[in-house]
Structure 1
Amino acid sequence: MLDTRNHQGKFGADYVRVLASAAGLIWSEDDVDLDGIDLCLKMPGRTPRGFSPRIDVQVKTASKLEVRHGLLAYDGLHHAQFDKLAGDDYTVPRYLFVIHVPRTGDFADLRTAGLLLRHIGYYTSLRTESRLSPRDTRRRVRVKIPVSNVLTAASLRGLVTGSSVLPVG
């Protein structure tokens, strides 16, 4: 059995994969993580944004999230991870996905109506943020995510295709 940290992380990535499948997207992973990207999500074929648009995402999980004034405060990014998502000089848009998971490890439940995944995911873009320097890998960076940025099949498709106006933080 996986240790708690790896189990939680794997569930978070699988949560995003399930939503991508529900949204009609395909996902892939780089064979080596050099860029701080966990998953690449792509809409196959032609769209208003062009041919096969995609986004790159860093997936994080948390069993406890602080909410104040409509914003989630996520403290799980270290300095180097933040810098790999911040700024607007990327060819492919980058997003941080934070999946709120149960503390108990009770991640899913099968019911007669279907499979329930717990709890919920959020997204934000750090493209308007400046990179930090000097780099201190021990330092944690607080990221604030609007609670309205709920990760759903529809919002995920909108992020990839750029076809809808979505709040991104």
Structure 2
Amino acid sequence: MDQNNHQGWFGEAFVAVLAAAAGLQHAKPYPDLGIDLQVIRSHPDPALEARVELQVKAQRVDDPGNLGGAVTVRLEAHQYRRLTGRRQVPAYLVAVVVPRDRQNFAQASEQALRLNHSAYWVSLEHDPYTLGPEQKTLTVTVPTKNLLTTAVLHDLLDQVTSEGSLL
């Protein structure tokens, strides 16, 4: 598998592992129309069920400890449009920072499985960038203060149930 496909697949698996660790479901929509994963909280009380959609982009870096406060992600125009505006199912951009050498994506031992390095998220609901009508790509900044964790996944789903549906 070429490196770009490998890192993209690993990025999605990285987020899926976080969802599983949080006790949440995840699903991969087919065909991929700009959303890579859905993270879902099922609950016996339908009012507490929630879903968010994620566009996952993996970025190779040399020094993950020195990101300068942000990760930049290049999106195609159709991917960006899929993440902007108020939606029935909230959508987020997730940047997964991976090692430059794909042999270092994960280390397994009898005590632990370590996935390298980290994931960050941002909402583009309020369309912070201007996309020209002929523009094909856009660079988006994802702040590293928005570390994606199991607790954050629950918080994003809690926001869905507290805000209610748009229907």
Give the TM bin, normalised by the shorter chain.
Answer: 0.7 to 0.9
Distance verdict in 2 for CA 1:75–1:41, change over 3 Å: closer
Q: Deviations over 1:12-34 (max 9, x none)?
A: 00001100000111011222123
- 111-120 or 59-68, larger mean C-alpha shift: 59-68
Q: Deviations over 1:103-123 (max 9, x none)?
A: 000100013431000000000
Residues 19, 153 of structure 2: 8 Å contact kept: yes
Code of the residue aligned with 1:54 in structure 2: it is: R
Structure 1 residue 41 displacement after superposition = 0.7
Alignment partner, residue 119 of structure 2: 121
Alignment partner, residue 166 of structure 1: none
Distance verdict in 2 for CA 1:135–1:94, change over 3 Å: farther
Alignment partner, residue 134 of structure 1: 133
Code of the residue aligned with 1:153 in structure 2: it is: T
Q: Aligned runs of 1:156-167 on 2, under 5 Å?
A: 156-162=153-159
Alignment partner, residue 150 of structure 2: 153
For 1:160 and 1:43, the matched residues in 2 are separated by 7
Gaps of 5+ in 1: 164-169
Q: Deviations over 1:52-76 (max 9, x none)?
A: 20001000000137844x3x14132
Gaps of 5+ in 2: 161-167
Whether 2:105 is the aligned partner of 1:107: answer yes
Distance verdict in 2 for CA 1:75–1:39, change over 3 Å: closer
Alignment partner, residue 11 of structure 2: 12
Residues 122, 151 of structure 1: 8 Å contact kept: yes
Q: Aligned runs of 1:13-92 on 2, under 5 Å?
A: 13-34=12-33, 36-45=34-43, 50-64=47-61, 67-68=67-68, 70=69, 72-88=70-86, 90-92=87-89
Aligned residues: 155
TM-score, with normalisation over the residues of structure 1? 0.83
Code of the residue aligned with 1:4 in structure 2: it is: Q
Q: Deviations over 1:116-160 (max 9, x none)?
A: 0000000000011166230422x3x22222211001111112112
Residues 57, 73 of structure 2: 8 Å contact kept: no
What is the root-mean-square deviation in Å for CA atoms of aligned residues? Answer: 2.1
